[in-house]
Amino acid sequence: MLIFDRSRPGRAALAQLLPETAESPLIPGHLLRNTPPALPEVSELDAVRHYTRLSQQNYAIDTQFYPLGSCTMKYNPKACHDLASLPGFLDTHPLGLERAGQGTLACLYELQEMLREITGMAGVSLACAAGAQGEFAGVAMIRAYHLSRGDSARTEMLVPDAAHGTNPASATMGGFRVREIATDSDGNVDLAALDQAVGPQTAGIMLTNPSTLGVFDQHIQAIADVVHKAGGLLYYDGANLNAIAGKVRPGDMGFDVIHLNLHKTFSTPHGGGGPGAGPVGVDHKLLPFLPLPVIVADGARYRMLTESEQPQSIGHLVTFAGNVGVLLRAYIYIRMLGRAGLERVAEFSTLNANYLLRKLVENGFEPAFPQRRAAHEFIITLKRLAKERHVTALDFAKRLLDYGVHAPTVYFPLLIPECFLIEPTETESKETLDAFIQVMAAILQEAETEPDRVKSAPHSLPVRRLDEVRAARHPDLAYRSE
């Protein structure tokens, strides 16, 4: 029920009302509205109950299991939020950051250095307000590098068919023509296809490793050799760094440019579109092109590089120092875990994924790559159910909601039929994983014996099955009284 449906004329939270004669000294009179807004007229208790009820209907990592592959829904330690909210951080005005915010700048500088060490790159910029903007920055740096050498013939960006959709989008925005590279039967980049595609027109290749197929590319060194020999650069999509942090570094694999999604590896909130942070890193030859701001240390003082000091930079991509609150949460998370803790994250996330994969196979599920071990996520395919019982991956995902489990990513990557991409993260207990296995097995049994029950799910939620395309493209978010 909408709160407007509870509205009764004249009902109000009287203790919250301003006196009728009150005027705001902050808003000029000509900007004040002449008619009252169409707000619901409810008591304070009705309003409290309404919004409390809505909050209880929310699905969140703080309350339930969230195996959303390809976009880590890690637990966000509350200590990170508390420390990033200290008055010394919150009360710093961005215009006075260099003069009065030396402590904040010191933290950001140390975060740059820690990310540089974790990734094996020569330099890092914390600029970029999201991973997608980080991708654009990386592509822009590749373009600037080639043009700076007078090489304007490199017009193609190679992108594997298992790539995130943002990769070809970023490459296109950067002015490149996208050329797709096939995946082989083991989930690696097809080296024969790569050999045929590279040439003097190749600006670079965009890779996620481990890939969206949940496996570490066994040919990464050969890929680096082929692309570098052709004069191209390697771009690392850091979406799955969580599986290898502290174990393998993109810089050591041969990558020239990286971006990181802090929420996927360093436990900052995934805020439904923002605010986010997508730092970028580069090797030595791309250092002059890093986006601003870049924090530097002058003795005991910290400051931001100016455009005159970094004349080949691709420029400012965020105002002031970016989304500092998000960056501070990642800084605190890394400091809390330390080197050994980050290694355990990679170990436990991979262990959890392989435990789930093994148990689901034992319960009758079909892995997409049975010959490969999982990284921190893996894929099962429900193509047999779709063919024999007409129960699709979408049906299966909807039925999970009835059991109180958030659905994993479905139908991505596109090359796996009836795809189910599962990522448990390192923060879930064995008991939670076992409960998820039981739910999956129960739904599989239902699909065999009561397929219509699965196909008509969800049954227990406040709303039944939505037209997802219509809900995404035509959201009805504003109340209008008829």
Same fold, 79-336 and 345-456: no
Whether omega for the bond prior to residue 160 falls within 30 degrees of 0, making it cis, is: no
Cα 90 to Cα 85: distance, rounded to the nearest angstrom: 6
What DSSP state is assigned to residue 388?
Answer: H
- Letter string b/e over residues 350-359, b meaning 16 or more CB atoms within 10 A of that residue's CB: bbbbbbbbeb
Beta strands in 106-154 (DSSP E): 123-125
- Letter string b/e over residues 455-474, b meaning 16 or more CB atoms within 10 A of that residue's CB: bebbeeeeeeeeeeeeeeee
pLDDT of residue 36: 83
Residue 312 contacts residue 148 (beta carbons within 8 Å): yes
What pTM was estimated for this model as a whole?
A: 0.91
Residue 162 contacts residue 213 (beta carbons within 8 Å): yes
Residue 208 contacts residue 239 (beta carbons within 8 Å): yes
Q: What angle do CA 160, 183, 131 make, to 5 degrees?
A: 30
pLDDT of residue 20: 63
Q: At what angle do helices 131-148 and 166-173 cross, to 10 degrees?
A: 40
Query: For residue 253, how many C-alpha atoms fall within 13 Å in the half-sphere facing its CB?
Result: 27
pLDDT of residue 271: 59
Fold of 79-336: Aspartate Aminotransferase; domain 2 (3.40.640)
Q: Tell me the average confidence (pLDDT) per consecutive run of 10 residues in the chain, 482 residues long.
A: 91 75 72 87 94 90 85 86 96 92 97 98 96 96 98 98 94 97 96 98 97 96 98 97 96 97 90 80 98 95 96 95 95 97 97 98 97 95 97 97 94 95 95 98 98 97 89 86 72
What DSSP state is assigned to residue 293?
Answer: P
pLDDT of residue 24: 61
Bridge partner residues of 180 (DSSP): 159
pLDDT of residue 19: 65
> Collapsing DSSP states into helix, strand and coil, what is residue 251?
helix
CATH number of 345-456, picked from 3.30.413.10, 3.40.718.10, 3.90.1150.10, 3.20.20.140 = 3.90.1150.10
pLDDT of residue 274: 64
Q: Where are the domains of the chain?
A: 3-56, 79-336, 345-456
